[in-house]
Structure 1
Amino acid sequence: ADYKNSSQLMSMFVVYVSEELSEFKANYNETSYYLQEDEEQMEASIRDLIENHRDKVKAKLMNEPFEIPDILIAHAQDMFETQANDFVSDRQDEIIREKKKKPSSTSGSVS
């Protein structure tokens, strides 16, 4: 295989990364919903989640009919991880802002 059409490769990366990212976001939202009271557990779960989806990005690329060099696979994985981390820190900023708005005395669900 030659990489003359590396732009094609890049656009494939972008597709795979954004697919994984939207799955990751769904999983993240679920995880953060269940673990909102347990920050340590939450952090560990999110790290696992990111690892898990990093592996999936790699698996998708390994599944292609042509061989993609490891360095490019690693690049796609890093692309995913960067975007996942950005998403997580945005969400955590939001949560902190939400917490600041609410007086802490009203813990517990408000229906």
Structure 2
Amino acid sequence: MTAHSLIIAVTVGIVVGVAGHILTCRGRSVPLWLPPAAAVAAAVLATVIARMANASRPDLTPAEIIVQVLSAVAVVALVAVTGGPAPAGAPREHAGENGSGSAGGRRSRRAG
């Protein structure tokens, strides 16, 4: 992998991550740094895989950039879907009822 490929992968990851965060993470509690970081990791991994698959080409190919963009978009979509609060119709667990609350594993007693 050349330095040029790495710079392109990081740039693609940052651009896709920030754009994906702006477009998909509204109303969700996803940190600002998470989509770009995940997209950069996916784009760099895509570059490594594309270089391994096509080791005879020393320069950057359009197929490599397409693989970077598609993998970064897929990972940002995955982050957006899995992050944030549960949907409104989903059942929620209350702290203290199942032992996973802040009471250190002890169940709270109810008055009555």
TM range, normalised to the smaller chain?
Answer: 0.3 to 0.5
Largest Rg, 1 or 2? 2
Q: Which structure has greater helix proportion?
A: 1
Q: Structure 2 length as normaliser, TM-score? A: 0.44
